[in-house]
Amino acid sequence: MARTQLQRARDGEVTPAMERVAERENREAELVRRQVAEGRAVIPNNHAHDALDPMIIGREFATKVNANIGNSETSNDPREELRKLHTAVHYGADTVMDLSTGSNLDTVRETNVDHSPVPVGTVPIYEAVKRVDSPAEITHELLLDVIEKQAEQGVDYMTIHAGVLMEYLTLTDGRKTGIVSRGGSILAQWIEENGMQNPLYAKFEDICEIFAAHDVTFSLGDGLRPGCLADASDEAQFAELDTLGELTRTAQDHGVQVMVEGPGHVPMDQIRDNVERQQDVCDGAPFYVLGPLVTDVAPGYDHITSAIGATEAARGGAAMLCYVTPKEHLGLPEATDVRDGLAAYRIAAHAADVANGLPGARDWDDALSEARYEFDWRRQFELALDPERARSYHDQTLPGDNYKDARFCSMCGVEFCSMRLDQDAREAGDGMTTLDDGTDLDVSPAADVNLPPAGTHDTSSVPQEIELDDETFSVGDLHGDD
Ligand code: SF4
């Protein structure tokens, strides 16, 4: 039977996926192997995901970003789902989660896996709910069937809310917003109506066996995460975290890779404690956080409120950040929301990597600053995190080609351009020295995700044409960029 990356790492083997990851991170393959063997990093890599360009999630490596995509009851166009996938990859998502809850679930999932160069994650309880009239009717067998089928389809990691235990539900009674995780609330209803323990907890070892056979990575879900600042760091959240620590060890004993999900909504001053607590309880297993949002007052801008929290979480050791879009709490994101959410989170991840001193992470900033000071506008656009947006904002006021070498822009205007004035003063030889330049990104030790372009993936295994609903169209038509 094919073995998992964890099992092979423990046996001292450097797999092709580890070699590829080492190349992308610009780190030693032996470091990658050791981190995977110790459970401190994961390489989500289902044996059946042929289009995958392997990547690694762990605090020793560049901070990664996940984008959630997927349909809902009110949005069921499979082509729109593929557009979201390609927009996400184009703008730098390191993984995507297909959270579809509408129709055509198998078609959407299989097409996503076939065409995704990044790992694909799912939450299988969503599909289980779709197969019954009420959550209480979900059986243990149905859950295992859904999980096994998704593993066979090539899903690389799955969110399993196995830590929502019967005895923890009353701990949420005094909360302002109760249980806000979709998976958590479904399981709470199941437990209440059946009077039995969480089926994902009861069948956890069976799930481990399925995951081991396909090398699916656990993303242990935080079904009792806080849904507002007032509920952060409460007894329910930390009781569940203790169980997730226990389940981390159980899964790893089965040779299965594990990461652990985290909150949610957390005041700034509690974020670092949350990260440190997870690292301690879960023996350093990678922490995958949703935001967290640092204030509840800005619906419409929650990509910003949460990117602030995500930066602090990554500073403290979170390994992957689940993006939040401006539509959070308000509606299903569209392609433009995916773009805005990803920009916010790529900034958060990169800012944390720079501050944490990840090798070479700042080289990108230095190269862009040099281009800026030299008024090399084309190079600035090329190096920008979102080149299309930088160019279009510049060209709104100074569209002509002659302005691509101009020693000013419309922000301060020619007379007040401080960088031009500074350069003129240096040239006049009034005692100021010349500034350094010359960052060469070709020799930077930075990981791919800390170098432009943001969406750096090997897409050679991705089929370039897609057949859907008896129609063929090309992958190139799907990008959501301008
Ligand atoms: S005009 Fe102002 S914003 Fe524009 S390049 Fe000069 S200093 Fe920078």
The pLDDT assigned to 475 comes to 66
Residue-wise pLDDT tens digits, 9-30: 999 999 999 999 999 999 999 9
Q: Is 322 exposed, middle or buried (0-12, 13-18, 19+ CB in 10 A)?
A: buried
CB of residue 408 inside a 6 A radius of ligand 1: yes
Annotated binding-site residue numbers for Zn(2+): 265, 329
The pLDDT assigned to 473 comes to 72
* DSSP state for residue 459 in the 8-state scheme: -
CA–CA separation, 373 and 380 (whole Å): 10
For the chain, what is the mean pLDDT? 94
Q: How far, in Å, is the centroid of ligand 1 from the Cα of 411?
A: 6
Residue-wise pLDDT tens digits, 193-211: 999 999 999 999 999 999 9
- The residue whose CA has the least distance to atom 5 of ligand 1 is 408
CB of residue 443 inside a 6 A radius of ligand 1: no
The pLDDT assigned to 332 comes to 83
Q: Does pLDDT of 481 surpass 60?
A: no
Distances (CA, A) of 125 to 142, 172, 183: 10, 21, 7
CA–CA separation, 95 and 261 (whole Å): 14
Of ligand 1's listed atoms, the one at least distance from the Cα of 420 is 6
The pLDDT assigned to 466 comes to 76
CA–CA separation, 81 and 67 (whole Å): 13
Is residue 302 within 8 A of residue 257, CB to CB? The reply is: no
Q: Does pLDDT of 74 surpass 70?
A: no
Q: Which residue has the higher pLDDT, 227 or 332?
A: 227
Domains for the chain: give ranges and CATH numbers.
Answer: 5-359+455-476 (3.20.20.540), 361-436 (no CATH)
Q: How far, in Å, is the centroid of ligand 1 from the Cα of 364?
A: 20
Per-residue pLDDT band for 429 (boundaries 50, 70, 90) equals confident
Helix axis angle, 302-316 relative to 268-281, nearest 10°?
50
Is residue 387 within 8 A of residue 377, CB to CB? The reply is: no
CB of residue 417 inside a 6 A radius of ligand 1: yes
Output the six-digit token pair for 286: 């990678």
Q: Does pLDDT of 73 surpass 80?
A: no
Q: How far, in Å, is the centroid of ligand 1 from the Cα of 350?
A: 24
The pLDDT assigned to 477 comes to 64
Q: How far, in Å, is the centroid of ligand 1 from the Cα of 377?
A: 11
CA–CA separation, 384 and 381 (whole Å): 5
The residue assigned the tokens 């949610």 is 264
Of ligand 1's listed atoms, the one at least distance from the Cα of 414 is 1
Output the six-digit token pair for 4: 């998992």
Output the six-digit token pair for 234: 């409460």
Helix residue spans in 182-267 (DSSP H): 182-194, 199-202, 204-214, 235-253
What DSSP string describes 377-445?
A: HHHHHHHSSSHHHHHHHHHHH--SGGGGS-S--TTTHHHH-HHHHHHHHHHTTSSPPPPP----GGG--
CB of residue 412 inside a 6 A radius of ligand 1: yes
Per-residue pLDDT band for 430 (boundaries 50, 70, 90) equals low
pTM over 0.85: yes
Q: Does pLDDT of 75 surpass 90?
A: no
Q: How far, in Å, is the centroid of ligand 1 from the Cα of 305?
A: 28
The whole-number average pLDDT for the span 430-445 is 84
The pLDDT assigned to 143 comes to 98
Of ligand 1's listed atoms, the one at least distance from the Cα of 409 is 4
Is residue 265 within 8 A of residue 293, CB to CB? The reply is: yes
- The best mutation among 381, 411, 422, 423 to test binding of ligand 1, ranked by most ligand atoms within 8 Å of the C-beta, falls on 411
Q: How far, in Å, is the centroid of ligand 1 from the Cα of 432?
A: 20
For the chain, percent of residues with pLDDT exceeding 90: 83
CB of residue 406 inside a 6 A radius of ligand 1: no
Helix residue spans in 256-362 (DSSP H): 268-281, 302-316, 335-355
The whole-number average pLDDT for the span 97-115 is 90
The pLDDT assigned to 380 comes to 96
Helix (H, G, I), strand (E, B) or coil at 205: helix
Tally Cβ neighbours within 10 Å of residue 136. 13
Residue-wise pLDDT tens digits, 221-277: 999 999 999 999 999 999 999 999 999 999 999 999 999 999 999 999 999 999 999
CA–CA separation, 194 and 290 (whole Å): 30
The pLDDT assigned to 71 comes to 79
Q: How far, in Å, is the centroid of ligand 1 from the Cα of 417?
A: 5
Q: Which residue has the higher pLDDT, 74 or 421?
A: 421
Per-residue pLDDT band for 480 (boundaries 50, 70, 90) equals very low
* DSSP state for residue 478 in the 8-state scheme: G
The residue assigned the tokens 């080492």 is 22
Annotated binding-site residue numbers for substrate: 68, 97, 126, 161, 181-183, 222-225, 261, 288
